[in-house]
Amino acid sequence: MDEEILTEEALILNDIRSHLTTFEKERGNLIPILQMIQEKHAYIPREAIKLVAEYLEIPVCEVYGVATFYNQFRFHPPGKYPIKVCLGTACHVRSGDIILENFERKLEIKEGETTPDREFSIERVACVGCCALAPVAIVGETVHGHMAPSKVEGLLLRIRIEKEKQEREKLTISGNN
């Protein structure tokens, strides 16, 4: 893991520690604590589960069991470019599952995970309300309709090229100052 990510995770854990004290040490506060962590940080780090267990003086397995029971909780940080693949009825019958598999294969991660560089994350969603465009994938805020397995690699390549272009522009601007 690179230094920037480790520093970010340490800051997140310190923030969680400081906010835990606003909750009474009662088992009934477990879900509100997990919701607070999810809301503030968009995911629940593995180490946060241990912190919560220690704070509430309950077993780690109990905190983990509750957190994994509810699908509102994420355990991987969202990527800079979150990808949501619709698997609602219209998208499912038009091979949305194959689109999801292609994203997983190209990014070498599974649904619910984030790439090690935290650039991309993949999530399956039930419906995005764009049934006429099925199958649909959403990257960031942009809807990509009529997806085909052959479009996945081009879409990812376009994002990476745009990112490199922006980085070059930043270097050019900082070099002129």
The angle that helices 96-107 and 149-176 make with each other, rounded to 10 degrees, is 40
Q: Is 91 annotated as a binding residue?
A: yes
The angle that helices 46-56 and 60-69 make with each other, rounded to 10 degrees, is 120
With b meaning 16 or more CB within 10 Å and e meaning fewer, what string describes 54-64?
ebbeeeeeebb
Q: Is 61 annotated as a binding residue?
A: no
Dist. CA 75–CA 73, nearest whole Å: 7
Q: Is 130 annotated as a binding residue?
A: no
Q: Is 86 annotated as a binding residue?
A: yes
Binding site as annotated, residues for [2Fe-2S] cluster: 86, 91, 127, 131
Binding site as annotated, residues: 86, 91, 127, 131
